[in-house]
Amino acid sequence: MNDLGVTVKKDEDFAEWYIQVVLKSNLLDYAPIKGFIVLKPYGYAIWERIREVADKRFKESGHQNAFLPTLIPESLLSKEAEHFEGFKPEVFWVTHAGNDELGERLALRPTSETLAYEIFSRWIRSYRDLPLKINFWNTALRAEIKSTKPLIRTSEFLWQEGHTVHASKEEAEDEARLMLSIYKEIIEEYLAIPVIAGYKSDKEKFVGADYTLTLEALMPDGRALQMGTSHNLGQNFSRPFNIKFLGKDGKEHYAWQTSWGISWRLIGALVMIHGDDKGLVLPPRIAPIQIVVVPIFYGDDSKHSVIDKCKNVYALLRDRFRVHLDDREEYTPGYKFNDWELKGVPLRVEIGPRDVKQGKVVLARRDDSRKVSVGDEELLDAVTNMLEDIQHSLYRRAYEFLKSHTFSTLTYDEFKEHIEHGFVRAYWCGSQECELRIKEETGADIRVIPFTDDSINDTDMLKEGGMMKKEQVRDGDEGDTRCIYCRRSAGKIAYFAKAY
RNA sequence: GGGAGCGUGGCCUAGCAUGGAAUGGUGCCAGUCUCGGGCACUGGAGGUCGUGGGUUCAAAUCCCACCGCUCCCA
């Protein structure tokens, strides 16, 4: 063993493990500017898969892609005061054009609401122009100086930001909810990461939004990670940006808006949740390479028959799967096994002289390291089933982790103990003061206030009942539903956790 | 905002106390040999010791300043 592989164990030094995995598996590299990274081809291929899946859903639900400039004049960015105050500390400013100082500073977009809405206001005149539903695949820049982490917290990140304009409040609400459910589907069914859906508290919501919907996942170190957000902006932006339309009633109305986004942070979550001591483990539905074929040959005698069989298998699988034939001659099979395991390819097909002779191949799973030998005629079925099985067992494993690290409690003492290990589900009075105090004393935030009135969460946790029961923290708690902190009567149930 | 530590071939690293030819591993290149779990051997290329200044016959080593990075505390 040498330092080509990951040299620390995931459960012994998680932070170091994460860095080694993302670097050594060839996802990314550091850039020469603090807080910035370079996404290498293998990492970008994962982003392309996420983008492919998401883009399809966006288009199916009536959204169109467009492009916006990176620079936003200060006068525009500051037009919505609360929004500006929120982003100000992390804005990069362009102050010069060549040698000349600019009359007005230009922000490198931290997010595009202000720029997009200035433009939207020129496009919208009548209710017939609505709804306007546009998505941008781009990057955003936020100056992160402390505690940066590749993919999780970087000063520039790849993301998509959707921006919509609607004629009614209800329509905007539905849109915000719909996009969250689309995100949830992508994250759970493709990335195999279970999430908890609900509202952000006022303290944690997007600055300028009426409310923010969020999806929260739990990382192996017990910290929560925000996976995607969808904001109902109400009329908070349409007023300052003057997005008005003439309704059927012949009167002018301010429009109702949403914005929503997911970023390459999802790749970071993927690494943390599914990875192991050997490196990455990618769910088949999102893996850029689902199957790698590795030939094993001794001398020239068997070499040709092995290579031929590998090519046949490759051709057979290529139509239905993303498959790669590793025919490099300068590396030994053992080296290749380790290399592809580091890169997280879900399934490996090994073909050697023995397999050629017996009319078989060896299939090796990345998730549990099991190897099986299957006859050539069963190959297609076996591969299909195994990939599905890997997809589901990865989700299952992540789900069991989330479940076993989500604690329900009625006492603050227990709260402080559990908060070190995952989500704590507790009653909360709804006051920001309690929220701040808890943050101060324990380092934990309210990550999500779960939905109680809809079907979004019913796909998993809630359906199983028990600890996830909607109206109660725990079964039979009707007698004590007071706030975990101030002991006043509680209006809500909230999930607390330390966050990235 | 406060404190501590670290910068040596692509990467990791020895050397620094007590100044005197820059150590080893990995990776890279060539060849031979191998290949069912990171093969082995031989040879080779690759270094402004973060930057600038100072002390000294002599500085990776001691002193000063700067730059960069990491960690801890608020």
3-state secondary structure A252-315: EEECEEEEEEEECHHHHHHHHHHCECCECCCCCCCCCCCEEEEECCCCHHHHHHHHHHHHHHHH
Per-residue burial over A199-230, b = 16 or more CB atoms within 10 Å of its CB, e = otherwise: bbbeebbbbbbbbbbbbbbbbbbbbbbbbbbb
Distance in Å, residue A374 CA to nucleotide B4 C1': 59
Q: Distance from residue A34 (CA) to nucleotide B56 (C1'), in Å? A: 39
Measured CA A144 to C1' B60 distance, in angstroms? 34
The full set of domain ranges for chain A reads: 14-274, 291-394, 405-497
Instruction: Give strand letter and number of the nucleotide nearest A369 (CA to C1').
Output: B37
Strand B closer than 7 A to residue A146 Cβ: yes
CA of A36 to C1' of B54 (A): 37
* pLDDT on residue A459: 46
Give the per-residue pLDDT at A147: 74
Give the pLDDT confidence score for residue A30 in this predicted structure.
Answer: 83
Residue that is written with structure tokens 């893996």 in the block? A287
Q: Quick one: tokens of A285?
A: 């539905």
Is A18 near strand B, with its CB below 7 A from some atom of it? no
Determine the Cα angle at A165 with ends A163 and A167, to 5°: 160
DSSP symbol at A487 = -
Residue A101 neighbours by CB distance under 10 Å: 9
From A132-141, A182-191, A471-480, the region with the lowest mean pLDDT: A471-480
Nearest nt to A1, CA vs C1'?
B38
Q: Please state whether strand B lies within 7 Å of residue A353 at its CB atom.
A: yes
How confident is the model over A145-159, as pLDDT tens digits?
777 889 998 889 999
**Cβ of residue A89 near strand B, that is under 7 Å?**
no
The nucleotides of chain B lying under 7 Å from a protein CB are 11-12, 25-27, 34-39, 68-71, 74
> CA-to-C1' distance for A5 and B37, Å?
13
Q: Count CB-CB contacts under 10 A for residue A255.
A: 30
pLDDT at A453 over 80: no
Model ipTM?
0.85
Beta-strand runs (E) in A167-254: 196-199, 211-218, 224-234, 244-246, 252-254
The more confident residue out of A98 and A354 is A354
pLDDT at position A366 over 90: yes
Q: Kindly tell me if the per-residue pLDDT of A466 is higher than 50.
A: no
Cβ contact A359 with chain B strand, < 7 A: no
| A14-274 CATH fold | BirA Bifunctional Protein; domain 2 (3.30.930)
Chain position carrying tokens 């689902």: A290
Other beta carbons less than 10 A from residue A379's beta carbon: 17
**Cβ-count burial of A434 within 10 angstroms (0-12 exposed, 13-18 middle, 19+ buried)?**
buried
How many angstroms separate the CA atoms of A244 and A129, rounded?
11
Does any strand B atom come closer than 7 Å to the Cβ of A5? yes
Which residue in the block uniquely carries the two structure tokens 């029961």? A469
- What confidence score (pLDDT) does residue A468 get? 45
Please give the pLDDT value at position A458: 47
Q: Which nucleotide is nearest to A362 (CA to C1')?
A: B36
For nucleotide B25, the protein residue with its alpha carbon nearest to C1' is A2
Average pLDDT, integer, range A110-120: 96
- Rounded CA gap, A491 and A198, in Å? 15
Q: Is A291-394 in the same CATH topology as A14-274?
A: no
- Confidence at residue A198, expressed as pLDDT on a 0 to 100 scale: 94
Reported as a single tens digit per residue, the pLDDT across A42-54 is 999 999 999 999 9
For the CA of A17 and the C1' of B25, the distance in angstroms is: 21
Nearest nucleotide over every DNA/RNA strand to the A294 CA, judged by C1': B36
* Mean model confidence pLDDT for chain A: 91
Say yes or no: Cβ of A123 under 7 A from any atom of strand B. no
Q: C-alpha distances in angstroms, A439 versus A113, A203, A213, A409, A445?
A: 29, 11, 21, 17, 6
Cβ of A333 less than 7 A from strand B: yes
Q: Minimum mean pLDDT among A259-263, A279-283, A479-483, A495-499: which range?
A: A479-483
Span A385-444, pLDDT tens digits: 999 999 999 999 999 999 999 999 999 999 999 999 999 999 999 999 999 999 989 989
Q: Is the CB of A32 under 7 A from strand B?
A: no
**Which of the 164-193 residues on chain A come under 7 Å of nucleic strand B at their beta carbon?**
none
Task: Using alpha carbons, select from A428, A430, A470 the residue that is nearest to residue A451.
Answer: A470
Q: What's residue A477's pLDDT?
A: 57
- Give the residue, A468 or A158, on which the prediction is more confident: A158
A17/B61 CA-to-C1' distance in Å: 34
Taking the CA of residue A190 and the C1' sugar atom of nucleotide B37, their distance in angstroms comes to: 30
pLDDT at A102 exceeding the cut of 70:
yes
Q: Tell me if A31 sits within 8 A of A99, measured CB to CB.
A: no
Q: pLDDT digits over A298-329, tens only?
A: 766 788 899 999 999 999 999 999 999 999 98
Confirm whether any atom of chain B, the nucleic acid strand, is less than 7 Å from CB of A371.
yes
The pLDDT-based confidence of A470 (bands split at 50, 70, 90) is: low
Homologous superfamily of the A291-394 domain (CATH) = Anticodon-binding domain (3.40.50.800)
d(CA A371, CA A332): 19
Contact present, A156 and A34 (Cβ < 8 Å) = no
Cis, bond preceding A110 (omega within 30 deg of 0): no
Q: Is the pLDDT of residue A179 over 80?
A: yes
CATH code reported for the domain at A405-497: 3.30.110.30
- Summarize pLDDT for A22-44 with one digit per residue, the tens: 988 999 988 877 788 889 999 99
Q: What Å value separates CA A16 and C1' B60? A: 29
Give phi and psi for A244, each to the nearest 5: -120, 150
